[in-house]
Amino acid sequence: MPTEDSVNRAMLQAWRTRGQLMLQHCRKCAAVTYYPRKRCPSCWSDALDNQPSGGQGTVISYSVVHRGVDEAFRQLGATVTLASVKTDEGPQIITLIVGDDRGEVAIGGRVKLAQGADPQRYPLPVYALADEAGGVP
């Protein structure tokens, strides 16, 4: 479970209450950042605003973990699909791919924030395949 603090509070609360991913936008240099920080990694300004992501992205890389899955992930099933997703806004996020069709994930494939994902089960934003018809497990 992530530890909530003043830097990541807006991002964590948006996920828990609205199923949104919040990204930081720098008012000085216009950089868009994920994960939440005190200062912009591009220009070191502290002029950061949290704005909701559109929730779409592209799989840059992924890995399917078949064994040795940590106890925290065992409730997800026999395998866990981890991915590096480049959000349409620019930042990359390491995330879980969830849903009944997660075995069809592919590099270059489109994903979206998983709607209806239980924030107790998934304390950080998770994605599903963009054309998924099934539900989040």
Give the H or E element holding residue 129.
Answer: strand 127-129
What sections of the chain are H helices per DSSP? 9-18
Per the model's pLDDT, the better-predicted residue between 21 and 80 turns out to be 21
What is the pLDDT of the chain when averaged over all its residues?
A: 88
pLDDT at residue 135, as a whole number: 45
> 113 forms bridges with which residues in the sheet?
127
Task: Give the best-scoring range by mean pLDDT among 1-15, 23-37, 58-72, 121-135.
Answer: 23-37
Confidence of residue 132 (pLDDT cuts 50, 70, 90): low
pLDDT at residue 101, as a whole number: 86
**Radius of gyration over every alpha carbon of the chain, rounded to an integer in angstroms:** 15
Among 35, 51, 52, 55, smallest CA distance to 110 is for: 55
Using the structure block, give the residue that is written with the tokens 């940590």: 70
Using the structure block, give the residue that is written with the tokens 């603090």: 5
Per-residue pLDDT reduced to its tens digit, 64-111:
987 665 666 666 666 789 999 999 999 999 999 998 888 899 999 999
Question: Distance (Å, rounded) from C-alpha 23 to C-alpha 35?
Answer: 8
- The token pair at 116 is 């209806």
